[in-house]
Amino acid sequence: MPELIIATRNFSTDRIIGDGSFGLVYKARLSNGVTVAVKKLSNDAFQGFREFQAEMETLGKNKIRHPNLVRILGYCVSGDDRILIYEFIEKGSLDQWLHDTSLSSSLDENKINIRPLSWETRVKIIKGVAKGLVFLHTLETPIIHRDIKASNVLLDSEFEAHIADFGLARRVNAWHSHVSTQVAGTIGYMPPEYKAGVTAATVKADVYSFGTLMIEVATGKRPNLPTKIETGKEVGLVEWARRMLAEGRHFEMIDKSMPREGLREGEIGEFLRIACLCTSEGSKDRPSMEEVVTMLNFFN
């Protein structure tokens, strides 16, 4: 703990680089010269303990490693404090790149020149997230992330995706479900079965969130905000995407800030078709993440 206090300047606000569920994330340089991300969990004893336990049970204890998952390097328990130490991912979150939000840093070394992501880069990121989810879902005891969203996808210097924040993650039994008494996730990314009162966590819930993320990546629209259609009615992002695709208007859906070079209408249509399949109303109608990766191989 004394080293972390020095490295974060006593958890100074100007070291904050993000906020995960139930905690703030700080950039820190350890005494050995390694730059890391330090997550200090909420002082709320119950929430902090639950997230700490979830991260340790999924990433920590089992030494889980995959190129598309953020690596946990260590942890610290001191009194009521629960702290997790991760590898530092250089380019921040996908949310920041899609929506040009503040990289929340007054530190010169954290300043990143955000520019609109190319179509090729967006596809690469989505493929990386898909591969990370396949890995989690096909472990001997599968892991359900339960909070796939743009702010939980971090980008390295090559724009390779790394899934982060396993504070809501759960290991599941052979039937690929986890009995839960409460809904977990983020508004806009949660599957429709949650509204119907189904609280069991399943891999197909992750698939829905992933499909929503695909639509967000292609359109630049936030899933938690309504979108207006011609009648003036406001609908959710997934319903809007489904309507637009059915009318063959997929090219109109693309993020207007994105460079148009190399855009092919057929590719865009296929990308959004896969996204709509992943966000099918019925969980049984959604593909597995393995099937999604196979479909995404359409994009070279």
Q: What is the pLDDT of residues 250-266, one digit of tens each?
A: 999 999 999 888 788 88
For the ranges 56-65, 142-151, 200-209, the lowest mean pLDDT is seen at: 56-65
Q: Where are the domains of the chain?
A: 1-87, 92-297
One fold for 1-87 and 92-297: no
DSSP labels, 224-243: TS-EE-TTS-EE-HHHHHHH
Q: Which among 19, 44, 108, 147 is annotated as catalytic?
A: 147
Q: Confidence class of residue 78 from pLDDT cuts 50, 70 and 90?
A: confident
Q: Render pLDDT for 37-51 as a digit per residue (tens, 0 to 9).
A: 999 987 765 566 777
Does domain 1-87 correspond to CATH entry 3.40.50.1000?
Answer: no
Q: How confident is the model at residue 64 (pLDDT cuts 50, 70, 90)?
A: confident
Chain segment 165-198, per-residue pLDDT in tens: 888 888 876 555 545 545 567 888 988 888 776 6
Q: Where are the alpha helices (DSSP H) in 220-287?
A: 237-246, 250-253, 265-278
Q: Is 95 a catalytic residue?
A: no
Q: How confident is the model at residue 81 (pLDDT cuts 50, 70, 90)?
A: confident
The domain at 92-297 falls in which architecture? Answer: Orthogonal Bundle (1.10)
Least confident of 54-58, 107-111, 246-250, 287-291: 107-111
Q: Tell whether the model's pLDDT for residue 106 goes beyond 50.
A: no
List the single range of 32-36, 57-61, 94-98, 237-241 with lowest mean pLDDT. Answer: 57-61
Rounded CA separation 73/63 (Å): 9
Inform me whether the pLDDT recorded for 93 exceeds 70: yes
Sign of CA dihedral 67, 141, 41, 188: positive
pTM for the model stands at 0.89
Q: What is the pLDDT of residue 163?
A: 96
Query: Is residue 40 marked as binding?
Result: yes
